[in-house]
């Protein structure tokens, strides 16, 4: 009789303790979705240049903390992903301009004039980059300029034209179409690598000319 009385209670207990397969499938799907979303957000985050420590002077932006001994984790991830070895704070400063002084995105359809002195440095380079930080492959001329090769007037002043077609004087070739960026690297610069010092630097002005 004891066995016959115990039997009716064992069946409901077994059914309650049994977990449906759909619950495991839902948990696995949730885990995979969270993993995929995390990877997407991480790639989006490190793909947007550097998130913190930006210092602006006109249209030019610098990230002095990237050359410090303790860059933030996001900057470290971006540098690791892209294989970037930034200049140390005692070696120089890197500036990037993606707009003109009016805040308009630099476009290969327009001409630009850079005027004004650069901050004091042993030497500097100016380079045209396409989207994603790639060198411009379809340019009709030079995309890199060294300070020692710059032509100056009798007052020691220089102006640089960035355009698709060749121009007299200092000329850098813009891409045939699409957006681009200008990178100015100061080597052995005298300026302090702090946001306040960078904000007060006299950087070249970027003025848009004719557009096609």
DSSP, residue by residue, 64-103: GGGGSSS--HHHHHHHHHHT--PPPTTTEEEEEESB-TTS
Q: Which residues contact 32 (CB under 8 A, 6 or more apart)?
A: none
> Under DSSP, is residue 122 helix (H, G, I), strand (E, B) or coil?
coil
Tokens of 190: 């005298």
pLDDT of residue 18: 53
pLDDT band at 24 (very low <50, low <70, confident <90, very high): low
What are the boundaries of each domain within the chain? 2-45, 53-211
Please state, in angstroms and rounded to a whole number, the distance separating the CA atoms of residues 91 and 69.
Answer: 13
Lowest-confidence range among 29-38, 87-96, 159-168? 29-38
pLDDT of residue 154: 84
**Is it the case that residue 65 has pLDDT exceeding 70?**
no
**Is it the case that residue 113 has pLDDT exceeding 70?**
yes
**Is it the case that residue 162 has pLDDT exceeding 90?**
yes
Average pLDDT of the chain is 75
At how many degrees (to 10) do helices 21-46 and 73-82 cross? 80
pLDDT band at 100 (very low <50, low <70, confident <90, very high): very high
pLDDT of residue 7: 46
CATH number attached to the domain at 53-211: 2.60.120.600
Q: Give the best-scoring range by mean pLDDT among 14-28, 97-111, 174-188.
A: 97-111
- Looking at per-residue confidence, does 206 or 83 come out higher? 206
pLDDT band at 143 (very low <50, low <70, confident <90, very high): very high
pLDDT band at 4 (very low <50, low <70, confident <90, very high): very low
Closest residue by Cα to residue 174 from 123, 204, 131, 205: 131
**Is it the case that residue 46 has pLDDT exceeding 60?**
no
> Under DSSP, is residue 1 helix (H, G, I), strand (E, B) or coil?
coil
pLDDT of residue 112: 97
- Note every long-range contact of 162-168, with CB atoms under 8 Å and residues 24 or more positions apart, other chains counting: 162/106, 162/111, 162/112, 162/113, 162/114, 162/128, 163/111, 163/112, 163/209, 164/108, 164/111, 164/140, 165/140, 166/140, 166/141
| Pair 30, 156: CB distance under 8 Å | no
pLDDT of residue 50: 45
pLDDT of residue 54: 72
């Amino acid at each position: 009789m004891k066995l016959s009385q115990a039997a009716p209670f064992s069946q409901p207990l077994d059914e309650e303790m049994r977990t449906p397969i759909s619950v495991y499938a839902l948990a696995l799907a949730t885990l995979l979705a969270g993993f995929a979303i995390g990877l997407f957000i991480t790639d989006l985050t490190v793909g947007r240049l550097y998130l913190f420590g930006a210092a602006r002077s006109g249209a030019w932006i610098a990230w002095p903390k990237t050359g410090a001994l303790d860059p933030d984790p996001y900057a470290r991830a971006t540098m690791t992903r892209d294989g970037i070895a930034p200049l140390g704070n005692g070696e120089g400063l890197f500036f990037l301009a993606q707009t003109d002084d009016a805040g308009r995105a630099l476009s290969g359809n327009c001409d630009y004039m850079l005027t004004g002195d650069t901050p004091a440095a042993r030497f500097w380079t100016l380079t045209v980059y396409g989207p994603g930080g790639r060198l411009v492959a379809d340019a009709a001329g030079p995309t890199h300029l060294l300070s020692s090769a710059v032509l100056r007037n009798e007052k020691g002043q220089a102006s640089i034209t960035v355009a698709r077609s060749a121009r007299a004087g200092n000329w850098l070739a813009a891409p045939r179409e699409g957006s681009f960026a200008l990178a100015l690297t100061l080597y052995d610069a005298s300026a302090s690598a702090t946001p306040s010092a960078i904000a007060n630097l006299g950087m070249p002005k970027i003025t848009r000319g004719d557009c096609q």
